[in-house]
Structure 1
Amino acid sequence: MFEMLVPKLRVNTVFDIPLEELYIKGYRGIITDLDNTLVGAKAPLATPELLLWFEKVKQFGFKLIIVSNNNMNRVSRFATPLNIGFVHQARKPSNAPFRKAMKQMELSPEQTIVVGDQMLTDVYGGNRLGLHTVLVLPISVKDEGIGTRINRRIEQIALTRLRKQGLWHEHEEEKLK
């Protein structure tokens, strides 16, 4: 069970994702979380740096979709002006939103990357379907809702267990699998 919480890759931010390497490996689509993955939980718009990253993603040839547990208003306000597809109120880690996103991108699990800041929703959900999971550090935890704060506490318990099992190494260079 705990192994399903281990991402294939850990990076500090989305800007650290090796897009070219992943594209060469055959990945063609990115399912990304919104809050604390792309922007802070209360940030309404993309930063200039994030807009450049979106352009880079498109230039490499990736399809991109946002899958968020947040409500329609929040996700639509962010994604619609950028012409990015989205799935709102996703109820991650349920399989359904990931499958819906892959269907919209017309991609298979073997071609799809999931990027997020939570092990219990993004990583677990992606790993269950065999997607390439990437865990980023949360942008800001001060504005998170109660559900996310509970998840973060559970993640700390899981991390303790993963470290004891030798499945989580703090300072080891993560390699693409």
Structure 2
Amino acid sequence: MLKSFKPTWMVESIYQITPEQLKNAGIKAVLTDLDNTLIAWNNPEATEETIEWIKLMKENDIEVIILSNNTRKRVGKVACILDLEFVPNALKPFQRGFKKALEEFDLDKSEVMMVGDQIITDIKGANHAGIRSVLVKPILDSDAWNTRLNRFVELKIMNYLIEKDPDMKWRGSLHDRNRTN
């Protein structure tokens, strides 16, 4: 039952994922969570690091689409700064947002990857959609009030998964010797 929460990969930061790694994995598009994955949850704008990573992806023809449970206003502001497409109010882990992204942007799920900092929303949703997933560490140790309960439950799930699979470890890239799946 808890296997649905297991990510394909665990990478410390989205910024450690390179176009070469993505191409080697057959990935042409990245769906990314916004808050605490791409930028801090309490940051109203993109950072220089975010801008540089997005620029690198675009230069290498890797499409990046924000898939967030946050509002159109919040997600749209950052997406405009980064010149990215986005799906707000995604209702992850439910399939609505994933299906919308795949259909609207004509994506083949075998060539798509979801990156997020929460196993309950991002990873479970991606797994259910048949999309490979990358769990990243949250950018900040703090969270919005509505995420704190998820973090408590996630800790219990992660401890169980790690106990069952000792190869579930944080990596520096997608191509570190041992994948989590």
Both structures adopt the same fold (TM-score exceeding 0.5): yes
Aligned residue identity for 1:45? E
Is the partner of 2:58 in helix, strand or coil? Answer: helix
Q: 1:175 maps to which residue?
A: 179
The one-character-per-residue Cα deviations of 1:68-127 (angstroms, maximum 9, x if unpaired) are 111111111111232211111111001110111112221111010100000000011001
Aligned residue identity for 1:122? D
> Shift in Å at residue 171 of structure 1?
6.4
Is the partner of 2:138 in helix, strand or coil? Answer: coil
Matching of residue 132 in structure 1 with residue 136 in structure 2: no
How is 1:60-139 mapped onto 2 (pairs within 5 angstroms)?
60-139=60-139
What is the identity percentage for the equivalent residue pairs of Structure 1 and Structure 2?
33
Q: 1:17 maps to which residue?
A: 17
Greater shift after overlay, 29-38 or 11-20?
Answer: 11-20
> Shift in Å at residue 176 of structure 1?
8.0
Count of equivalent residues: 176
Aligned residue identity for 1:175? R
Is the partner of 2:54 in helix, strand or coil? Answer: helix
Is the partner of 1:133 in helix, strand or coil? Answer: strand
TM-score, normalised to structure 1's length?
Answer: 0.91
Unpaired runs of 5+ in structure 1? none
- Is the 1:6–1:168 Cα contact (8 Å) retained in structure 2? no
Please provide the CA RMSD for this pair: 1.9
Counterpart CA distance in 1 for 2:161 and 2:10 is: 15
Question: Which 4+ residue blocks in structure 1 deviate beyond 3 angstroms?
Answer: 167-174
> Shift in Å at residue 61 of structure 1?
1.1
Counterpart CA distance in 2 for 1:48 and 1:121 is: 27
